[in-house]
Amino acid sequence: MELIENLIHRGYSMKANKFGLIGIFIVLLTSTLWGGNPDRQGEAGAYELLLNPWARSAGIHTLTTSMITGVESMRLNVAGLVHIPQTQVLIGHTRYLVGTGINLNAIGVGQRVSKNGVFGLSLMAMDFGDIAVTTTDQPEGTGATFSPNFFHLGLSYAHLFDNKVSVGFTLRTISETTADLSAQGFAIDAGVQYVTGAQDNFKFGISLRNVGTPMRFGGEGLSFRARNPDGTINYDLSYDQRSATFELPSVLNIGASYDINIDTRNRLSLVGNFTSNSFSRDAIGAGLEYSFNDILMLRGAYRYDLGSNQDVVVNNVYSGVAAGVSLEVPFSEKNDTRFAIDYGYRATSTWNGTHNLTLRFTL
């Protein structure tokens, strides 16, 4: 922590640091825009890294790269983590693609450790329910069940420069396990947000997510028994298969937003976002968020996958429409102690949509 503070408070001007950081992040992050290849679609794994367990950003289709704040920013643009008063706790539950029986559960904590620095810890786990065990001899099921365990643990840090530029990093471990197979990985996220305008009402953000080590499944589930290959003596041997490695679904997000302050109580935010996926189609989206006195918030968005009209590629499960609502109650005169309930819905072309619910405690 002292090393970070010493580097930040060297004798360079804050203005030079601010624009230098913006330039470095833009060069490094946008360099991946040309790294994707349409022919690689579907070749990555660990796609649960792209799932959003938080209702506030999900209700606007995860387009808020530029304006997302608090603990939920660790899932989209970690630079927004810096915008919490002192402590923030989020608890989230998601019914993913209703009808599949899959749920997401998440918890996140953010804690300010200095005037301009915030640490965060987040955990997301997937619940697949009980899946029947089937074999070639018993395709209807053996009577036994199993349940995969997918979870991510992330450690984040964000720092605010000159009240205009914030940057952040997340280190995330990835674990996918079943009864006899497992895979582990490691990923890094990075992000930057820039605020300008007469009332700090124009925001710009860039985030790069899921850049990390390739993953490979291993375990007893890849072992099988077969006859002795030379055929001289009739007996069985145990063989171990090697599974192929797979890359993580790295994503680059570039977003902007503009706040229209109608009066002291009413705000309307216009949001736009571009997503570059290394292993799937790119996407663009736009949305609106209306806020009354920072107590009641309504939001909606539409997201479009570029090239989705091509017959050679299966369309995304999400149809493009998302909506959400938040109710936030202050418990102090300074409005820095608050409790909020967030709800988000995303329509799907199959199944019955995805529902997000989040409880938020800000201290």
Is the pLDDT higher at 218 or at 308? Answer: 218
Radius of gyration of the chain (CA): 23
pLDDT greater at residue 223 or residue 261: 261
CB-based contacts of 319, cutoff 8 Å, min separation 6? 347, 348, 349
Domain hosting residue 163, numbered range: 2-222+249-362
Average of pLDDT values for 231-248?
80
Instruction: Kindly state the percentage of the chain with pLDDT values over 90.
Output: 63
d(CA 318, CA 61): 10
27, pLDDT greater than 80: no
| Residue that wins the pLDDT comparison between 163 and 167 | 167
Asked if the structure places residue 307 within a domain, the reply is yes
Number of domains in the chain: 1
58 Cβ contact list (under 8 Å, min separation 6):
52, 94, 322, 324, 344, 346, 354, 356
- Output the pLDDT for position 310: 56
Look up the CATH number of the domain holding residue 58. 2.40.160.40
Residue 243 lies in a domain: no
Q: Reply yes or no on whether the pLDDT at 359 is more than 80.
A: yes
Is residue 116 within 8 Å of 81, Cβ to Cβ? Answer: no
Q: What is the pLDDT of residues 95-132, one digit of tens each?
A: 999 999 999 999 999 999 999 999 999 999 999 988 88
Dump strand ranges (E) for the chain: 87-96, 102-112, 117-127, 131-132, 145-146, 149-161, 165-177, 182-196, 202-212, 223-227, 236-240, 251-261, 266-277, 283-292, 296-305, 318-330, 338-348, 354-362
Could you give the CA distance from residue 203 to residue 255 in angstroms, rounded to a whole number?
A: 8
pLDDT given for residue 242 in this prediction? 83
Per-residue confidence (pLDDT) for residue 14, from 0 to 100: 43
* Residue 240 maps to a domain: no
Q: Is the residue at 342 inside a domain?
A: yes
In a domain, residue 244? The reply is no
Which residue would you say has higher pLDDT here, 3 or 69?
69
Q: Is residue 232 assigned to a domain?
A: no
| Interval 242-276: pLDDT, tens | 888 999 999 999 999 999 999 999 999 999 999 99
